Amino acid sequence: MARAAEVKRTTSETDIAVSINLDGSGKSSIDTGIPFLDHMLSLFARHGLFDLTIKCKGDLQIDSHHTVEDTAITFGQAFLKALGDKHGIVRYGVSYVPMDETLVRAVCDLSGRAFLVYHVTNTRDKIGNFDVEMAEHFWHSFAQAAQCNLHIELLYGRNQHHILEGIWKASSKALSQAVQINERITGVLSTKGTL
């Protein structure tokens, strides 16, 4: 059975549709109205081998906050829905990603308990029309909606583009590892019997 999901979310601030296939090949179609965020989500799909479609119409005339936050929430909800009952998933994932002078580590646990640890120093405020401070907010909103524990750490780096690209790639690869099915796992990987 395909581990795929679609979620739509409409508020007075945004109108979003997300579809994801956890067992995809890395195809994506992303349009949030924020080109840098589109770039990050496209490489998330490619490097995690997720098929991902995101369409968002947001109140960008105000600023990017609502669009970034609501995209992350809807994306997280779709990710969680696609996981289904989580039977057989490896649950944990870890990835180190270098990007030239930058090295990022991402570690995740698809535990059903939402938490974000984000240890990243920003070297500038904007990349294009993307507010760099919104990167942390994106991952916080995603972790809450996907009910996952996610630790993101910049080990070192100077170029802000490289830092954020490393973050999205490392997070993608860690999550891709965590969603993998291991046939040796009966039910869920927890002594509680539930995730």
Residue tagged 């969680």 (tokens): 80
The pair of three-digit structure tokens given for residue 28, joined into one six-digit string: 């994506």
Angle at 126 between CA 34 and CA 65, to 5 degrees: 50
- Sorted by where each starts, the structural domains of the chain and their CATH numbers stand as 4-178 (3.30.230.40)
The pair of three-digit structure tokens given for residue 190, joined into one six-digit string: 């927890």
Per-residue pLDDT of the chain (195 residues; tens, 9 = 90+): 689 999 999 999 999 999 999 999 999 999 999 999 999 999 999 999 999 999 999 999 999 999 999 999 999 999 999 999 999 999 999 999 999 999 999 999 999 999 999 999 999 999 998 999 999 999 999 999 999 999 999 999 999 999 999 999 999 999 999 999 999 999 888 888 888
Which helix (DSSP H) or strand (DSSP E) does residue 170 occupy?
helix 160-178
Mean pLDDT of the chain: 96
For 51-76, give one letter per residue: b (16+ CB within 10 A) or e: bbbbbbebbbeeebbbbbbbbbbbbb
- Distance (Å, rounded) from C-alpha 140 to C-alpha 9? 18
At 191 the pLDDT is: 81
Contact 189, 90 (CB under 8 A): yes
At 45 the pLDDT is: 98
Q: Strand pairing partners for 107?
A: 94, 151
At 37 the pLDDT is: 98
